[in-house]
Structure 1
Amino acid sequence: MKVFSTLEPATRRNLLLLFAVGLLFWASLAALLPTLPLYIRDVGGTKSQIGVVMGAFAVGLLLFRPWLGQLADRRGRQVVLLIGLVAAAIAPLGYLVTQSMPLLIAVRAFHGLSIAAFTTAYSTLVVDLSPPSNRGEVIGYMSLVNPVGVAIGPAIGGFLQEWAGYTPLFLLSTGLGVVGFVGALWIQAPVPVAQPIASTSKTTLWRLLWSPRLRTPTLTLMLAGMAFGVLSTFVPLFIQEAGVNLNAGLFYTAAAVASFSVRLLTGRASDRHGRGRFITLGLLLYAVTMLLLWSARSTDVFLLAGLLEGAGIGIFLPLMIALVADRSEAHERGRVFSLCVGGFDLGIAIAGPTLGLFAEQIGYRGLFGLSSGLVFLSVIVFVTQSSKTLSQSLRFAFGEGRDFYALPHGK
């Protein structure tokens, strides 16, 4: 982490404080990962209802991301960061006070606002504070909040639920959000860069999304998001159905350990050798994860799948954010992140309710086989469509060519 010693003291302080706030946010969300599907089932939810409730999280993401992206560009990143933390603190109380499926869907959609706001503001702030020459490295280090938070959260959440029940679990999730909010008040965010008035129109937003430089990253993120939606919703239930003696929280912990490890290395390497080869590798690892889960019948295979899932997403997501940052200007960055990462949200939104219906017919095991096909399709899209021509795309995706859509100023 030598790069941090080269930063100005104020910038370094803001990044460290932002990192701490990020840990609290992700631990709050992740504490519910292995337990919320079980809670929905325990209050009477069917397989398809579990998928609908869990997938409603992404409805909140999709509804609010475009507006929050514009707000981040217009009013500043810190305002949006605080909105995300407030939602993260309130939503667990909503789960606590209702067992009605329609109300749980509404609470879950509101909970989606938290990640829509927080991830948009967090990613944009990190890029704003990062020197362009070391952007991938700083993003890689700062993205560690996700695997570390996801390592801590499920382990604590799973244990607390088994030991004391759901009420202390939801109160813990709320408390972590409140502490994160207090910490975020001390962050000194850069002043928003002035932007053309025309850039705020809805037509421009969607034209921006469908531009060649952003279309392929968005579609790739959507396909990967569908697989992620299956994994985050149905792994705890699949482990129980398979009769494997494994705390589902340990699956997410294994994923977090692997994700942490790869992020220490790949961000810096992508600054030197290009983003393409690493994004391709991350997607391939994610596809293999789904195949392993499709065939998993033992604790060892589930844990191996967790490790590969963490490595795949730990390579893919931070470097896709770096790729999008390379292809965007400072005045549009909030909107670009909200729209492109919205592709990942859309995938999750589709996966929960739609693929949850398939679970009734083909079972959880079949869902993971289907998900492996979706990720392999995302590999094909990225490898063949990531640059201006097929040959340039292939060269970029396998690390032999530059990114022709990267902006030379990229600042």
Structure 2
Amino acid sequence: MTYSGAKERIWTRDLVFAWIVNFFLAFVFYMLMTTMALYAVERFSASDTLGGLASSIFVIGATISRLFAGNLVELFGRRRMLGIALVVFVLTSLSYLVIDGIDSVALLLVVRAIHGAAFAIGSTAVMTLAQSIIPRSRRAEGTGYFTLSMTLATAIGPSLALMLVHGPGYIWLFTATATAAVLAMAAALFLRAPDKTPSPEHRARLRRFHPSDMLHRDVVPVASFMLVLAVCYAGVLTFLNSYADERGLATGASLFFLAYAITLFAARLIMGPLQDRRGDNLVVYISIAAFAVSLVMLGLATTNVVLVLAGAFMGLGFGTLMSALQSIAVSRVPMPRMGLAISTHFFMLDLGIGLGPVLLGVLLNQLGYNQMYLVLAGVVVVSTGLYHLVHGRVERAEHEAPVPVDATV
């Protein structure tokens, strides 16, 4: 593919509002994900296991919904499904204020699962809208900028949540998340991007819904690479604080994700345009190397500075890979199947983050924290071979001479 000097415009009114919607969706997710386990234990005297379920059942609901989200978005329309999902998202966000006055952890689990399902469908719909707006010639760059909404939510959400919980309390936390959900819905009302109307044949196919429509077969191979990376990243999300406490590096751990977000923000300004100009492989291989270096630094960390630097490399590595692989997933499908491509990508991401703590818990018991992170670094390096098999070996030819996309399938 030749890169034209006349760049198509990325930022439009609709993309800005889609960015805002996605930010608030992710903001609510991260605020509650970091506090829900402790809330269940403190408010309902739940066991640690049940508290963990109160946190993770959101991801379980989201993961299951990803199997249907792409098909629903394509069949009923992106804006319509976004609106429906946001209504449910707002109602479930408000429900936490009601649940706090009711002594029922079972009700909390139900609301968390529904909340996760609404999040999955809403995020799939808004990301599909965003991808339909971003110019094809600048897809990687535009995807990188758009997914910065999630990066910002990662940086702000957990810190604000802990500040509220340790300050005015959980009612303020739930008020803040409900407000954010309402703001997401308000921003969605300003979206005017037209939906792509399916052809009669395609609509009939979507209505017949077959299990094969849960995941797009052309995206599954590269999404399987995302699955491996997500399992490795789950080792950071789940065990970083415990590892830091064991080594007396609590300060470094508190700054880890801030370094992650700052580095990722800077990397997006470079890596997205580089992927559009030079192809997927260069960006992916650089990011794999950075991810592996980050895990090695975690395994060997003895000072707070090293832990913060590991967060910076993690942003360049895993953070860049998330948007780069999403861009690759979308590029492998025709326009009407974009929603299914995105839901396939995020299904594998959610599945990896969900399975990671279980699989790595076994590894942790055998090896300890530092050895576990070094093993994960090795897994990331070896996963380069998987990427080469599923995409890397044909990427150069596809980038230089792309096959015309049939928009009717």
State the TM bucket, normalised to the shorter chain.
0.7 to 0.9
Structure 1 residues 249, 114: CA separation in 2 closer, same or farther (over 3 Å shift)? farther
Q: How far apart, in 2, do the equivalents of 1:293 and 1:300 lie?
A: 11
Check if 1:327 corresponds to 2:332. Answer: yes
Q: Of residues 166, 170, 180 in structure 2, which corresponds to 1:176?
A: 180
Determine if contact 1:53/1:108 at 8 Å carries over to the other structure. Answer: yes
**Structure 2 residues without counterparts, runs of 5 or longer:** none
C-alpha distance in 1, partners of 2:339/2:76? 11
Per the TM alignment, residue 274 of structure 1 is displaced from its structure 2 partner at its CA by: 0.6
Alignment of 1:174-253 (within 5 A): 174-195=178-199, 196=202, 197-199=204-206, 201-205=209-213, 209-210=216-217, 213-246=218-251, 248-253=253-258
User: What is the CA-CA distance between 1:373 and the residue it aligns to?
Assistant: 4.1
Deviation at 1:366, TM superposition (A): 5.1
Following superposition, the deviation at residue 61 of structure 1 comes to: 2.1
- 1:112 deviates by 2.5
Instruction: Tell me the TM-score normalized by structure 2.
Output: 0.83
CA-atom RMSD in angstroms: 3.3
Matched residue count: 394
Is contact 1:161-1:169 (8 Å) kept? Answer: yes
| CA displacement at 1:182 relative to structure 2 | 1.6
* TM-score, normalization by structure 1: 0.83
Say whether the 8 Å CA contact 1:217–1:382 is kept in structure 2.
yes
Q: Which residue, 382, 391, 411 being the options, matches 2:387?
A: 382
Structure 1 residues 292 and 192 mapped into 2: Cα distance closer, same or farther (>3 Å)?
same
Which residue among 114, 124, 130 is the counterpart of 1:110? 114
TM-aligned CA distance change 1:56 to 1:371, over 3 Å: farther
- Do the aligned partners of 1:45 and 1:101 also contact (CA within 8 Å) in 2? no
Give the alignment of 1:6-155 within 5 angstroms.
Answer: 7=9, 12-39=12-39, 45-46=47-48, 52-86=53-87, 88-89=89-90, 90-91=92-93, 93-94=95-96, 97=100, 105-155=109-159
Question: Which ranges of structure 1 fall in alignment gaps of 5 or more residues?
Answer: none
Distance 1:403 1:154 in 2: 39
Q: CA deviation at 1:174?
A: 2.1
Please report how far the alpha carbon of residue 402 of structure 1 lies from its aligned counterpart in structure 2 after TM superposition: 3.7
Q: Which amino acid aligns with 2:152?
A: V
The amino acid of 1:261's aligned partner reads A
Deviations 1:324-352 (A, max 9, x none): 12111111111222123211121122123
CA distance 1:242–1:300, shift in 2 (3 Å): same
Matches of 2:301 and 2:390 in 1, distance apart?
33
On the 8 A contact 1:57/1:109 being kept in 2, the answer is yes
Tell me how far apart the structure 1 counterparts of residues 193 and 244 of structure 2 sit (CA, whole Å): 43
Change (3 A) 1:35 1:53: closer
Letter in 2 for 1:28: V
CA distance in 1, matches of 2:6, 2:173: 36
Aligned residue for 2:276, secondary structure, equals helix
Identity of aligned residues (%): 25
Distance 1:272 1:386, change over 3 A: same
